[in-house]
Amino acid sequence: MRTTTLGGGAVAVSELALGCAALGNLYQPVTDEAAHATVDAAWDAGIRTFDTAPHYGLGLSERRLGAALRDRPRDTYTLSSKVGRLLVPDPDDGAGDDLAHGFAVPATHRRVWDFTADGVLRSLEASLDRLGLDRIDVALLHDPDDHADQALREAYPALERLRAEGVVGAIGIGMNQSALPARFLRETDIDVVLLAGRYTLLDQDGLTELLPEAAARGRSVVIGGVFNSGLLTAPRPGATYDYAPAPQPVLDRALRLQAVCEHHGVPLRAAALRFPFGHPAVASVLTGARSPQEVRDTVEQLRRPLPQALWDELRTEALLDVDTPVPPATSTGHAEPVEEAAPPKEPS
């Protein structure tokens, strides 16, 4: 699987990265065995980049990912985690659950926003302990939407020092919006932006400012949320878009995208996976999975041939702007219709 270095530095990421929110019991429980098998399947498919966070299952994702990678040579993979939410023991000692935050785990801890320099150090130390590893390759500021000034003034300089000392290899920011990451690109020396849901077949907001800024500065972007919470895997009434039922106009647009893809014998999710690679700043696409089957399906879709005629028709039908960059064609003919397996639900 192709690899790219982030921001021209030394940290390499594979073309496809495994997002590990589902390993933290996102929406529903996953067994330890299934979590381990999912990571193994990703490894067998050539994936060498793994993303997690303390937020995911109150640390469960980090613990499971660390356990699954423990016997792998440490210099053969790239691991990213995040800072900004400290996990503090809950006084009720897990009497409730964490489903209000989307995770089917006991509420043993509560999340406390902390973008201070001390908070960054404490968060990374706790993550290393949960992972059982000696280093994190990429440290990302996690969703500082309401803490932008503190993240710029305190958390970012702490990460910059850690990078200079060689404690982490690359630093960046991970968000579901593009405006604040674009500000970080202008005002700091981050290596990478993890942008979720804002550069997809349905939403190209990242193309307005963030992606051109990254390309101009030689920085990298990892695209998450390419299925927009599931709508681009199987558009139908009740499908979710940005974690809520899709509004009818958005659903209608997704159905039109699907119709064009079907006309060219291409599953919609295959086009959704490949689309971000049309932009030169995109280094990797990050997708979640909760089973080996979902991993294998994702890899299969990424490798499907996509004809140039598909992108041309999406432009003709005004489903993509004429100047939106698209990836190079991987097939020149009209593909045969494909048998569709049941698409996986997309963890974010």
What amino acid positions are annotated as catalytic residues? 56
- Listed in sequence order, the residues at least 6 apart from 33 whose beta carbon sits closer than 8 Å to its beta carbon are none
What is the C-alpha to C-alpha distance for residues 304 and 290, in angstroms, rounded to an integer?
Answer: 22
Among candidate residues 160, 80, 169, the one with its CA nearest the CA of residue 121: 160
Q: DSSP state, 155?
A: I
* Beta-bridge partners for 173: 141, 193
Among candidate residues 88, 80, 70, the one with its CA nearest the CA of residue 132: 70
5 and 218 in contact (C-beta within 8 Å)? no
What is the C-alpha to C-alpha distance for residues 48 and 137, in angstroms, rounded to an integer?
Answer: 12
Q: Is the dihedral of CA 137, 128, 285, 155 positive or negative?
A: negative
What is the C-alpha to C-alpha distance for residues 143 and 140, in angstroms, rounded to an integer?
Answer: 9
Strands (E), the chain: 3-5, 12-14, 16-19, 49-51, 78-83, 85-89, 97-98, 103-106, 109-113, 136-142, 168-175, 192-196, 220-224, 240-241, 244-245, 282-288
Structure tokens at 285: 């696409």
- Listed in sequence order, the residues at least 6 apart from 334 whose beta carbon sits closer than 8 Å to its beta carbon are 264, 265, 307, 309
219 and 191 in contact (C-beta within 8 Å)? yes
| 3-state DSSP helix/strand/coil % of the chain, to nearest 5 | 40, 20, 40
